[in-house]
């Protein structure tokens, strides 16, 4: 039973560029959430996707956008990269009907470095 | 504003010793509280989950407690091992209108020395 898969594992981009990160949820999960984790900090909620729509959004600018596909996989896009966007980006999946109890399964993350 | 505060920020102990990590929260309405272990550069892995009616939950050498009245939780690690070196994150969740958004603490960094 595959867990949450994220790609790529590491990425280096130049300031001003755009980046796309990908996530495949755990089998049986239908909801995907994205988090940004700066070094030494806890994860910060970016947004959550369910039924191919953004359902909740954290305090992140419009440069951060996402998409969910019919197979429940998801992408996180970041435009006009800033040095401060350097972080570990975590994808977490859940089953919406029981997320409150079973919670999230996290992927190993994508380490984004902006230079 | 929902907040989760963890203490200490970091902790160094010797292998075999016990330790206790603290979590205070102001999250409403309360749904559940989880402790996660996060190894460096990896995603968090759930250790325990407690709902409002539960005040203790164990997972091997990890024991979590919850006092819903004072809005405090602790994670006790018994007979620590080198592999316990990681960040431990307290996550408190509320539900509203069918949505489920957890609030993360910053974590406690635990280092276990031989």
Q: Concatenate the DSSP letters of all residues of A29-48 into one string.
A: --EEEEEEE-TTS--EEEEE
* Strand pairing class (A53-57; A5-7): unpaired
B105 touches chain A (CB under 8 A): yes
Is B32's CB within 8 Å of A103's CB?
yes
Q: Give the confidence band of A101 by pLDDT, cuts at 50, 70, 90.
A: low
pLDDT recorded at residue B100:
67
Is A45's CB within 8 Å of B101's CB?
yes
How many helices, marked H, and strands, marked E, lie in chain A?
Answer: 1, 11
Is A100's CB within 8 Å of B104's CB?
no
Average pLDDT over residues B68-91: 96
The distance from CA B25 to its chain's CA centroid, rounded to whole angstroms, is 11
Q: With CA atoms as reference, report the closest residue to B100 among A23, A30, A85, A19.
A: A30
Is A103's CB within 8 Å of B41's CB?
no
Task: Give me the residues paired with residue B10 across strands.
Answer: B109
Chain A with chain B: Cβ pairs closer than 8 A: 61
pLDDT of A99 over the 90 cut:
no
User: Is residue A115 within 8 Å of residue A12, measured between CB atoms?
Assistant: yes
Helix boundaries (H) for A1-115:
99-102
Sign of CA dihedral A38, A40, A42, A43: positive
CB neighbours (10 Å) of residue A3?
A: 16
Burial of B113 (C-beta count, 10 Å sphere; 0-12/13-18/19+): exposed
Task: Give me the residues paired with residue B45 across strands.
Answer: B37
Average pLDDT over residues B2-24: 96
Q: Give the confidence band of A104 by pLDDT, cuts at 50, 70, 90.
A: confident
pLDDT recorded at residue B101:
73
Of the spans A3-17, A98-112, B39-53, which averages the highest pLDDT? A3-17
Cα angle vertex A109, ends B58, A9, to 5°?
140
pLDDT recorded at residue B30:
85
How much is the mean pLDDT over chain B?
Answer: 91
Average pLDDT over residues B80-108: 86
Chain B residues in contact with A100 by the CB 8 A cut-off are 31-32, 93, 95, 100
The distance from CA A99 to its chain's CA centroid, rounded to whole angstroms, is 17
Structure tokens at B31: 């749904």
Q: Give the confidence band of A97 by pLDDT, cuts at 50, 70, 90.
A: low
pLDDT recorded at residue B1:
78
Q: Give the confidence band of A56 by pLDDT, cuts at 50, 70, 90.
A: confident
Average pLDDT over residues B96-113: 84
Average pLDDT over residues A93-106: 75
Q: How far apart are the first and last CA of chain A?
A: 37
How much is the mean pLDDT over chain A?
Answer: 92
The rounded distance, in Å, linking the Cα atoms of A88 and A39 is 8
CB neighbours (10 Å) of residue B57?
A: 19
Average pLDDT over residues A47-71: 93
């Amino acid at each position: 039973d595959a867990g949450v898969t994220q790609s790529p594992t590491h990425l280096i981009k130049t300031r001003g560029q755009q980046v796309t990160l990908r996530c495949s949820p755990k089998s049986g999960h239908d909801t995907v959430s994205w988090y940004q984790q700066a070094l030494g900090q806890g994860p910060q909620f970016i947004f959550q996707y369910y039924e191919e729509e953004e359902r909740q959004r954290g305090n992140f600018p419009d440069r951060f956008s996402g998409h969910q596909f019919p197979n429940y996989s998801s992408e996180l896009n970041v435009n006009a990269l800033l040095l401060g966007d350097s972080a570990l980006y975590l994808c977490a999946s859940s089953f919406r009907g029981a997320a409150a109890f079973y919670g999230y399964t996290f992927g190993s993350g994508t380490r984004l470095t902006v230079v | 504003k929902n907040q989760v505060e963890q203490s200490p920020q970091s902790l160094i102990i010797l292998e075999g010793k016990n330790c206790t990590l603290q979590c205070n929260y102001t999250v409403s309405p309360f749904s559940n509280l989880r402790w996660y272990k996060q190894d460096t550069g990896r995603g968090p892995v759930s250790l325990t989950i407690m709902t409002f009616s539960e005040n203790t939950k164990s997972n091997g050498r990890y024991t979590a407690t919850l006092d819903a009245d004072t809005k405090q939780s602790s994670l006790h690690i018994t007979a620590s091992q080198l592999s316990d070196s990681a960040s431990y994150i307290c996550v408190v969740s509320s539900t509203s209108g069918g949505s489920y958004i957890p609030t993360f603490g910053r974590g406690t960094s635990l280092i276990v020395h031989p």
